[in-house]
């Protein structure tokens, strides 16, 4: 009896050990299969990070394309009169086909005449031609006065100096061989300057006489 009991126990232990190894193998196989399935799903499914990166890249490329594209010209194209007549004719034919619908009155069309271009008139300023100053070969004086007394001559010279006109006192003899003191301004070579000084003296109430300088032919 004791031998039969021992043999039965050994058979049970062998069966328990074999079932344990079988369970471990089956569990390992299932884990490996599930891991392979998860890896395949992750590799084939789209990643949210990749899609976000692609969307951002597409948005940036769209913005750059819009910035680089030139703006459309806002020119209005005027259709020719033939197209307008065709469209109006087809529109009225529609009312002829359908019975019981009145044809709307034709609209009056007006052709707008093109506006004349506004030409900006450019005013040309005439070129100033430099005036030629008359230059004489002879020299002339403007004599403001002739006095026998030298004091009167010096007084006249001082009055001219107050007006900003430089004068000189020249001593000479008159026709009656009388010594005189002549107050003269000059000499002048340009007649324009002579006329300007004469006008200034006349405006201050002084009369002058034109005298040719001695030694001129």
Q: For residue 209, what pLDDT band results from cuts at 50, 70 and 90?
A: confident
- The answer to whether residue 95 sits within a structural domain is no
Residue 129 has pLDDT above 50, yes or no: no
Considering its fold, how many domains does the chain have in total?
A: 2
- The answer to whether residue 68 sits within a structural domain is no
Where does a domain end: 39, 56, 73? 56
Whose tokens are 């007084």? That residue is 155
CATH number, position 159: 3.30.70.1070
- The answer to whether residue 82 sits within a structural domain is no
Helices (H), the chain: 2-44, 48-68, 81-97, 150-162, 191-203
Q: For residue 69, what pLDDT band results from cuts at 50, 70 and 90?
A: low
Residue 22 pLDDT: 86
Residues whose CB is less than 8 angstroms from the CB of residue 169 and which lie 6 or more positions away in sequence, other chains included: 150, 153, 154, 157, 181, 182, 183, 184
- The answer to whether residue 42 sits within a structural domain is yes
- The answer to whether residue 183 sits within a structural domain is yes
- The answer to whether residue 112 sits within a structural domain is no
The distance from CA 17 to its chain's CA centroid, rounded to whole angstroms, is 97
**Over the chain, what is the mean pLDDT?**
69
- The answer to whether residue 90 sits within a structural domain is no
- The answer to whether residue 146 sits within a structural domain is yes
Give tens-digit pLDDT for 84-116: 545 555 555 555 555 555 555 555 554 555 655
Query: Domain range holding 18?
Result: 1-56
Residue 184 pLDDT: 86
Where does a domain end: 37, 56, 75? 56
């Amino acid at each position: 009896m004791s031998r039969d009991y021992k043999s039965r126990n050994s058979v049970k232990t062998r069966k328990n050990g074999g079932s344990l190894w079988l369970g471990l193998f089956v569990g390992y196989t299932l884990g490996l299969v599930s891991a392979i399935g998860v890896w395949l799903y992750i590799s084939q499914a789209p990643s949210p990070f990749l899609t976000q990166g692609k969307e951002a890249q597409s948005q940036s490329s769209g913005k750059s394309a819009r910035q680089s594209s030139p703006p459309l010209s806002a020119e209005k194209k005027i259709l020719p009169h033939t197209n307008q007549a065709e469209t109006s004719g087809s529109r009225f034919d529609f009312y002829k086909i359908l019975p019981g619908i009145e044809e709307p009155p034709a609209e009056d069309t007006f052709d707008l005449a093109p506006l004349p271009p506004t030409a900006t008139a450019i005013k040309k300023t005439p070129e100033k031609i430099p005036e030629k100053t008359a230059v004489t070969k002879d020299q002339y004086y403007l004599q403001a006065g002739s006095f026998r007394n030298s004091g009167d001559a010096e007084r006249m010279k001082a009055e001219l100096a107050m007006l900003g006109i430089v004068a000189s006192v020249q001593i000479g003899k008159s026709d009656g061989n009388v010594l005189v003191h002549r107050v003269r301004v000059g000499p002048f070579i340009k007649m324009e300057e002579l006329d300007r000084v004469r006008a200034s003296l006349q405006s201050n109430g002084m009369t002058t006489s034109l005298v040719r300088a001695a030694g001129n032919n």
